[in-house]
Amino acid sequence: MKTYRAAVIGCSRMGAFIDNEVPDYEAIKLPYSHAAGFFAEERTDLVACADLRPEVMEHFGNRYNVPKANQYTDYREMLEKEQPDIVSVATQPEHRAEIVVYAAEHGVKAIYAEKAMAASMDEAAAMVAAVEQNNVAFNLGTNRRWHTGFDKMKEIIDSGEIGKLRTLIIYSNGTLFNSASHHFDLILRLNSDAPASWITGYLPQGDSVFDGNALRADPSGGGTIQFENGVTAHALLTPRGSEWEAICDRGTVTCWNNGWQWHLRKQQDVPGWRNCQVPETFPEFERTSSTANLIKDLVHALDTGEPTRGGVRCAYASTELIFGIIESHLHNGARVELPLTDSKVRLQRNPTARQPRVE
């Protein structure tokens, strides 16, 4: 079978070295970084990388067997010379749209973009247009969409055994671009990517993070999302981190501690207590690497022409929820109808490049 040429743009933590930070964290099965995923996948050959820091690329090359001649400080030159089939864009969101659009318009067949999708809704829309016009397979690095535990959670919801899905809860939504990008994609997945019809939101930091239309920091944000199929989601800001719950007519299914524990409860009549939520056994599942699963999904799309599990429209939908929270805050918590129109806010930070843990 064909082996696809892969390249990584942005060689820092998620691009290449975050695996060094989580070797003993059972919530994450390795490989985790983009580069480690391509390096482990037998159907991909990691041939090149691009970053503004030659010293970081030197470590990248040593780890993933990418020669110095295939390390570029200009991603455009890399795309022209190496002609990769699959490109990872593991930069910060402020730079992502420009790179994704250029890659899609210059022959790349599949793109694995790190989250959050983009720094503005206009940039997200430009990414959608470029990807769709050039028939590019696309997945966003919201890894829980490819997590086998959440696959099982979705199977329970879809089976109807605990009734119709009514409510989804994110217990700790966190910062919108870094954390909520994950959470919003997960609730979209659990709700079969039903469109959202409106959203309300708030930013506890208030207006201090704004400079006109520029968002100078990634703010925490919470709110409520109403979906067209009647499901309501609540994005809370509690200390109960990395936990999610689906509430159905006749039971609940919950993930605790970022996938350590899974709980299924079903309604039953209990003598002396009437109608109760009674614990049931959550089905067994094989714990595998979500990054590996995401890359296999891209490879399958290239092999068959079938759509990926994620896709650029799913990425756009979760991005719209991020900016919906922001727009609601700017309008004093008012309900914002979706699809979102005329949002001019842009994430525009000046972060210092973080040095990855290379060993």
Residue 198's pLDDT band, with cuts at 50, 70 and 90, is very high
Average pLDDT over residues 77-105: 98
Residues 161 and 77 in one domain: no
Average pLDDT over residues 146-175: 98
Question: Residue 94 has what pLDDT?
Answer: 97
Residues 92 and 163 in one domain: no
Residue 358 in any domain: the answer is: no
Question: Residue 114 has what pLDDT?
Answer: 98
Residues 124 and 212 in one domain: no
At 99-114, the pLDDT tens digits run 999 999 999 999 999 9
Residues 231 and 337 in one domain: yes
Residues 24 and 132 in one domain: yes
Question: What residues have CB less than 8 Å from 89, skipping those under 6 apart?
Answer: 9, 10, 96, 99, 100, 103, 111, 112, 113, 114
Residue 359 in any domain: the answer is: no
Residues 279 and 299 in one domain: no
For tokens 């989250």, name the residue: 115
Residue 98 in any domain: the answer is: yes
pTM for the whole thing?
A: 0.97
Residue 35 in any domain: the answer is: yes
Residue 162 has pLDDT above 90, yes or no: yes
Residues 298 and 253 in one domain: no
Query: What is the rounded average pLDDT for all residues in the chain?
Result: 97
At 21-32, the pLDDT tens digits run 999 999 999 999
Residue-range definition of the domain harbouring residue 108: 4-143+291-310
Residues 118 and 47 in one domain: yes
Query: Do 81 and 65 meet the contact criterion of CB atoms below 8 Å apart?
Result: no
Question: Residue 359 has what pLDDT?
Answer: 86
At 212-258, the pLDDT tens digits run 999 999 999 999 999 999 999 999 999 999 999 999 999 999 999 99
Residues 139 and 152 in one domain: no
What's the number of domains the chain is made of?
2
Residues 295 and 322 in one domain: no
Residues 326 and 206 in one domain: yes
Question: What residues have CB less than 8 Å from 272, skipping those under 6 apart?
Answer: none
Question: Residue 350 has what pLDDT?
Answer: 84
Collapsing DSSP to helix, strand or coil, 187 comes out as: helix
Question: Residue 253 has what pLDDT?
Answer: 98
At 321-359, the pLDDT tens digits run 999 999 999 999 999 999 999 999 999 998 777 789 988
SS3 content of the chain, % helix, strand, coil (to 5): 40, 25, 35
CATH number of the domain enclosing 190: 3.30.360.10
Residues 205 and 339 in one domain: yes
Question: Residue 284 has what pLDDT?
Answer: 97
CATH number of the domain enclosing 35: 3.40.50.720
Query: Do 5 and 84 meet the contact criterion of CB atoms below 8 Å apart?
Result: yes
At 254-302, the pLDDT tens digits run 999 999 999 999 999 999 998 999 999 999 999 999 999 999 999 999 9
Percent of the chain topping pLDDT 90:
97
Residue 272 in any domain: the answer is: yes
Question: Residue 156 has what pLDDT?
Answer: 98
Residue 355 in any domain: the answer is: no
For tokens 């429209």, name the residue: 313
Give the dihedral of Cα atoms 154, 158, 161, 166; nearest 10 deg: 90
Residue 353 in any domain: the answer is: no
